[in-house]
Amino acid sequence: MKNKPITKKIISGKFKNKILKLPSKITTRTSKAIVLESFFNTIQFEIIDAIFVELFSGSGSIGLEALSRGAKKVIFMERDSDALKILKENIAQTDPEGCEIYGGDTFVNIKNVVKVLEKKNDNAYFYIDPPFNIREGMEDIYDKTIDLIASLPKECVKLIIIEHMSGLELPSKIGAFSIKKSKKFGNTTLTYFSGE
């Protein structure tokens, strides 16, 4: 008997109730519904016609939720090949025209994304949900993520949102960005950084 694929629905907007496939739990973890709901309640009007970048996207459920709620363009970044395959299938049932995928190492690809934003004088929301550092090979993931944030030019950033383990203490300032607010949901915390 084949395992039933894991799925989740888009919560709101023009693709509401579209069913998204999720990759296996081994390679990625999905954001909790309560975390997503709180996040989109916070920025629901701001993301209309905005650019949204989802780093470590997995199934793309956060970026596709942003697209559904009116973001004009979503850039996805994912390294895992199984997750990429599912991400492409999920995008196909929403609006592929409004999506761009960067496959491969996010820490390398971010430079290209920034170049494109700079060239067009655009700025974006960056949603960063790195794999938890308890996974093998991911021990330095948060250090690398902090360096990545510090490297982002202020003009390219509307807001940075990091989804992380609640026990992790992030610096109050990273590069040109400072913590705006932090919200805890059990083991998961969302921390918002802005350059204002």
pLDDT tens track for 51-105:
999 999 999 999 999 999 999 999 999 999 999 999 999 999 999 999 999 999 9
Q: How confident is the model at residue 26 (pLDDT cuts 50, 70, 90)?
A: low
Q: Strand 7-9 to strand 19-21: parallel, antiparallel, or no bridges (unpaired)?
A: antiparallel
Q: How confident is the model at residue 4 (pLDDT cuts 50, 70, 90)?
A: low
- Bridge partners (DSSP) listed for residue 190: 163, 183
The DSSP output letter for 172 is S
Query: Does some domain include residue 78?
Result: yes
Mean pLDDT over 160-187 rounds to 94
Residue 125, domain CATH: 3.40.50.150
d(CA 97, CA 99): 6
Query: Does some domain include residue 79?
Result: yes
pTM listed for this prediction: 0.92
User: Is residue 69 within 8 Å of 44, Cβ to Cβ?
Assistant: yes
- Bridge partners (DSSP) listed for residue 73: 51
Q: Does the pLDDT value for residue 135 go beyond 60?
A: no
Element holding 184 (H helix, E strand):
strand 177-185
Domain that residue 101 falls in: 7-194
Per the structure, the count of domains in the chain is 1
Q: Does the pLDDT value for residue 177 go beyond 90?
A: yes
Query: Does some domain include residue 2?
Result: no
User: Is residue 131 within 8 Å of 142, Cβ to Cβ?
Assistant: no
Mean pLDDT over 99-117 rounds to 96
Residues in the chain: 196
Q: How confident is the model at residue 150 (pLDDT cuts 50, 70, 90)?
A: very high
- Bridge partners (DSSP) listed for residue 74: 52, 99
Q: How confident is the model at residue 32 (pLDDT cuts 50, 70, 90)?
A: confident
The DSSP output letter for 24 is -
Q: How confident is the model at residue 34 (pLDDT cuts 50, 70, 90)?
A: confident
- Strand runs (DSSP E) across 69-155, as ranges? 73-78, 99-103, 124-128
Query: Does some domain include residue 1?
Result: no
Mean pLDDT over 104-113 rounds to 95
Angle at 72 between CA 158 and CA 146, to 5 degrees: 35
* pLDDT at 1 (0 to 100): 43
Query: Does some domain include residue 113?
Result: yes
Q: Does the pLDDT value for residue 29 go beyond 70?
A: no
- Give the phi and the psi of residue 146 in degrees, each rounded to 5: -65, -40
Query: Does some domain include residue 100?
Result: yes
Query: Does some domain include residue 82?
Result: yes
- Bridge partners (DSSP) listed for residue 183: 190
Average pLDDT for the chain: 90
d(CA 63, CA 75): 8
- Bridge partners (DSSP) listed for residue 101: 76
d(CA 187, CA 150): 25
* pLDDT at 142 (0 to 100): 87
% of the chain beyond a pLDDT of 90 = 73
- Give the phi and the psi of residue 8 in degrees, each rounded to 5: -150, 160
